Amino acid sequence: MIGAFASIGAGALAALAALGRLAIFTGQTVSHLFRPPFYGREFGAALIQIGYFSLPVVGLTALFTGGALALQIYAGGARFSAEAVVPQIVAIGMVRELGPVLVGLMIAARVTSSIAAEIATMKVTEQIDALVTLSTNPMKYLTLPRVLAATLVMPGLVAVGDIIGIYGGFLVSTERLGFNAAAYLHNTADFLTATDILSSLVKGAVFGFIAALMGCYYGMHSDRGAMGVGRATKSSVQAAAILILIANFLLTGVFFSA
């Protein structure tokens, strides 16, 4: 009995210690935003890597999700003679929830894993030690540009995902389900509000911050060797996905609790 309680206590203490390390790492990352120097080349490269090169996977994910959502809503609404609500539900579903969450998870799968593997490999090959030797702060050179770039570019990716997702629902609805194109667009525009769009963009910024931060954190704290790199990559994606879903729930409550 005592052994069971000891195991639970040890697990709780380990979780709190990990949370504390993450909080300290987050605070250090944010604090470097206001202190020179700033590495513009690293920031620009991160913008291109996270933003531009993520557009294909974001676009394809949103397009097929919007189309599938339209089919599902039409099939469900047909049971209650409510097929006409397809434009409204596709719009609100993509903008409020599916767009930000799916883009966040895609970025976690693509960018978080890449950042964690890159930084962990740099640690294994002692490149981070070399940066310290050259009087370069690894947090400012590696972490801050990636976290800042992801935070700034993710709202744009989410906006693109929302638009393409709605367009996917529009294509399926007009080409397969017999909706009038003008009426569909009119219903979509009338139903969305500024709060819906704002919540989507804010979620995108938060999810981008989480995704990049997890990649940097687990990369910086990886173990030595090939197994350490693989473990850091896996853990970073898991942590980013879970935190994105938790943050989505919390932000949804903030914006739409009323």
The pLDDT assigned to 200 comes to 93
pLDDT band at 113 (very low <50, low <70, confident <90, very high): very high
Q: What is the DSSP string of 83-120?
A: GGGHHHHHHHIIIIIIHHHHHHHHHIIIIIHHHHHHHH
The predicted model gives 123-148 an average pLDDT of 88
Tokens 């050259």 found at: 134
Of 258, 40, 71, nearest to 171 (Cα)? Answer: 71
Look up the pTM and report it: 0.90
Say whether pLDDT at 7 is over 80: no
The pLDDT assigned to 206 comes to 96
The pLDDT > 90 percentage for the chain reads: 50
The pLDDT assigned to 32 comes to 82
The pLDDT assigned to 1 comes to 66
Of 94, 102, 100, nearest to 192 (Cα)? Answer: 94
Of 207, 216, 218, 199, nearest to 241 (Cα)? Answer: 207
Beta carbons of 244 and 219 less than 8 angstroms apart: no
Beta carbons of 61 and 164 less than 8 angstroms apart: no
Q: Name the phi and psi angles at 38, rounded to 5.
A: -120, 125
- Over residues 151-194, the pLDDT tens digits come to 999 999 999 999 999 999 999 999 888 888 898 888 888 888 89
C-alpha distances out from residue 135 to 25, 32, 35, 129, 220, Å: 20, 15, 15, 10, 17
Residue ranges of domains in the chain: 36-256
- Over residues 225-240, the pLDDT tens digits come to 788 888 999 999 999 9
The pLDDT > 70 percentage for the chain reads: 98
Measured CA to CA, the distance from residue 132 to residue 134 in angstroms comes to 5
Average pLDDT in the chain: 89
- Over residues 136-146, the pLDDT tens digits come to 888 898 999 99
Contacts of 144 (CB under 8 A, 6+ apart): 29, 32, 33, 38, 39
The pLDDT assigned to 157 comes to 95
